[in-house]
């Protein structure tokens, strides 16, 4: 075998070893995520290894697997660790980060950090990332701020239906008046999703009653949910009034 042939064989072997190691790392990250998913007692064992992988691995597929598994840890340290990856140039990495960073934060300080990372992603070029970012700031965290409301209001006009519905749901949760025209519009559409009715129930605006009554003649996706929405809009909650008063200050 010539020297050139030996070099080619050596290069191919290194490539195969590299590919194998990448697949092993991905599998390891996924196994760690499975181990901790729903089993918080394993967090002290799993989290340090995932954080080490996050810091030391640069392959995008490995990073995506690690970040997805950190999302299954569901605690603040894991969520905060993935924040820098919300600005990664790779769509899959940004999506993994956006999906993983808001489900396990409890303190107001940590939620504010996550919200600051998610708000720019509400205008991401990738519609799935926008959808998850709007879901994160609108529904996954009990947080309100002018920046969050502004991002959600912009999201109402998103060309992606799921993203616009998440913006609507977030504003309804906050009792923001901007949710009303959006909910009214989609309630009168030919196809009405569950999230729309949930948003109507959350907002509890009497002006939605007529549309909800009409919806009850054909919408059978969740009869109990529809009943709750109709009841909420006939008897607006004190919480909604407080939210509206707060949004004017």
Going by C-alpha positions, the residue among 83, 154, 86, 70 that lies closest to residue 126 is 86
Confidence grade of residue 237 (pLDDT, cut at 50, 70, 90): low
CA–CA dist 188, 173 (Å, integer): 21
Within-domain flag for 16: yes
Confidence grade of residue 57 (pLDDT, cut at 50, 70, 90): confident
Residue 7 in this model has a pLDDT that exceeds 90: no
Within-domain flag for 148: no
pLDDT of residue 33: 97
Going by C-alpha positions, the residue among 229, 244, 158, 152 that lies closest to residue 193 is 229
Within-domain flag for 216: no
Range of the domain at 12: 1-74
pLDDT digit string (tens) for 189-207? 999 999 999 999 999 999 9
Within-domain flag for 38: yes
Within-domain flag for 1: yes
Within-domain flag for 33: yes
> Domain tally for the chain?
1
pLDDT digit string (tens) for 102-115? 989 999 999 999 99
pLDDT of residue 3: 53
Confidence grade of residue 39 (pLDDT, cut at 50, 70, 90): very high
Kindly state the average pLDDT of the residues 211-215. Answer: 97
Residue 1 in this model has a pLDDT that exceeds 60: no
How many residues appear in the chain?
249
Q: Look at phi and psi of residue 59 and say left if phi exceeds 0, alpha if psi is from -120 to 50, else beta.
A: beta
Kindly state the average pLDDT of the residues 4-29. Answer: 59
Neighbours of 83 (CB within 10 A): 17
**Rounded to 5 degrees, what are φ and ψ at 30?**
-65, -40
Residue 138 in this model has a pLDDT that exceeds 80: yes
Kindly state the average pLDDT of the residues 56-74. Answer: 93
pLDDT of residue 235: 76
pLDDT of residue 56: 85
Within-domain flag for 239: no
pLDDT of residue 45: 94
Do the Cβ atoms of 116 and 87 come closer than 8 Å?
no
* Cα 27 from chain centroid (whole Å): 24
Within-domain flag for 21: yes
Do the Cβ atoms of 44 and 74 come closer than 8 Å?
no
User: CA 74, 134, 169, 225 torsion: positive or negative?
Assistant: negative
Find the angle CA(138)-CA(143)-CA(147) to the nearest 5 degrees: 75
Residue 6 in this model has a pLDDT that exceeds 50: no
Residue 187 in this model has a pLDDT that exceeds 90: yes
């Amino acid at each position: 075998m010539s020297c050139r042939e030996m070099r080619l064989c050596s290069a191919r072997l290194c490539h195969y070893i590299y590919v194998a190691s990448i697949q092993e790392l991905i599998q390891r990250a996924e196994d760690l995520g499975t181990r901790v998913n729903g089993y918080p007692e394993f967090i002290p064992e799993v989290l340090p290894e995932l954080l080490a992988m996050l810091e030391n691995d640069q392959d995008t597929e490995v990073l995506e697997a690690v970040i997805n598994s950190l999302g299954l840890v569901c605690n603040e340290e894991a969520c905060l660790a993935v924040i820098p990856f919300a600005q990664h140039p790779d769509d899959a990495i940004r999506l993994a980060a956006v999906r993983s960073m808001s489900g396990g934060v409890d303190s107001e300080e940590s939620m504010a950090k996550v919200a600051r990372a998610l708000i720019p992603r509400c205008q991401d070029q990738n519609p799935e990332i926008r959808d998850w970012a709007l879901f994160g700031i609108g529904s996954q965290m009990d947080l309100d701020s002018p920046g969050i409301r502004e991002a959600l209001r912009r999201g109402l006009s998103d060309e992606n239906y799921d993203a616009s519905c998440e913006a609507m749901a977030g504003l309804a949760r906050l009792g923001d008046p901007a949710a009303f025209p959006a909910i009214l519009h989609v309630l009168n559409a030919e196809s009405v999703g569950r999230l729309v009715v949930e948003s109507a129930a959350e907002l509890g605006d009497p002006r939605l009653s007529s549309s909800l009554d009409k919806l009850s003649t054909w919408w059978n996706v969740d009869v109990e949910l529809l009943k709750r929405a109709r009841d909420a809009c006939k008897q607006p909650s004190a919480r909604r009034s407080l939210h509206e008063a707060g949004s004017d200050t």
